[in-house]
Amino acid sequence: MKRRTVRITPLGYIVLAIIILVMGVSIYFIVWSMRNDGSEQPQGNLNSNSVQTNTPTPSLVPVGETTPAPSTPPATTQPTTEPASAQTVTPKQDDTPEPATKTPTAAQIAAAVDGTLNASGVVLRAGPAQTYSILGKYSSGTQLKVYEVSGDYFYVRIVKENLVGYIAAKFVDKAGLLPGENATPTPKAIAGTIPGTVSASKLALRSVPSTADNSPIGEVVKGDSVLIYFKTDDFYYIQVVSTGVKCYAAAKYITASTTVPTGTPVPTK
C-alpha cells in the first residue's frame, strides 16, 4: 500500500504557527489565573467574612527603662467657709466703737458759746474719751464754738477749720454756760464783789497786776470760786473763796457772772 504524503504550503506553516501561538498564550493566562486565585485574597470585598481589623501595635519599651506612671494632679483642698450667720467676731476689750458722725443741731448752734484753747498741743477727738481717734491737734488761742458738755469733754467746732469733735474741758476757756450745764455754786457774796469761776486748768495768783514779777504767790485750778472786786488792765483783783486770799489774776481765765467794773484802788488786806 502506497503512503500518501501531505504537503504543507508556506501559508499553512504560517496559520499553524499562529494557532500554536494562540494556544500557548491561552494556556499561560489559564495557569496565571489559577495561581492568583489560590494565593491572593481579593481586596475591597465587603462581603468577605475574613475582613481583618487593624489593631495598633503597642510600642516596645527599651530594656532597663520603666514606663513612667501617669502624673496625677495633687488634690486641691477647698477652703471651708462658714456661713456669715455662723461667724462670730469677738471685739477686743480695748476696742471702742467710733461714734456716728455728729452734726450740731439748730438749737445747739443757737445756744453755743465762744471758747478758746488755753494750752498748746490739745487734741480734737472723735468721741468724749481718750480711746477715740484723734482728728487734729491745736495750739493755745484757737477759737471754738462750744455746743455741749459730755462728761469731762466739750463738744466743739474748730472755727477756722469748721471741724467738729470733742476736746477735754480743762483746756477750754468759754464765755458763759451751756444749756443744762451745772454752774458752780455761787459763794456767799461780799458786798461790792462779783462771783466768778476759774476756767483755766491752773491760774497763777499774783501780788501785782503784772507778769513782770515772775513770782506767783499761789495758784487756783479749774472750777475754783473767786469773788471779783474790779478789773485793772488785763487782771482781776479777786478773793479766793476757799482760802480768803486776796490777789490779782489774769482776767481772761476767770468767768465772771456779770460785767466787772474797772477800778484802781486796791482793797486793804
Topology, domain 106-174: SH3 type barrels. (2.30.30)
Residue 155: predicted pLDDT: 93
**Per-residue pLDDT, 63:** 47
| Contact status, residue 158 vs residue 174, Cβ threshold 8 Å | no
Predicted confidence (pLDDT) per residue in 32-83, tens digit: 888 766 554 444 444 444 444 455 555 554 544 455 555 555 555 555 555 5
**Residue 247: which of 198, 201, 191, 199 has the closest Cα?**
198
Does pTM surpass 0.75?
no
The low-confidence residues of the chain, meaning pLDDT below 70, are: 1-7, 36-101, 180-191, 265-269
pLDDT, residue 44, reads 47
Q: What is the pLDDT of residue 50?
A: 44
Start-end of CATH 2.30.30.40 domains in the chain: 106-174, 194-256
Question: How much is the pLDDT for 165?
Answer: 94
Class of domain 194-256: mainly beta
The pLDDT value recorded for residue 179 is 75
What pLDDT does 268 receive? Answer: 41
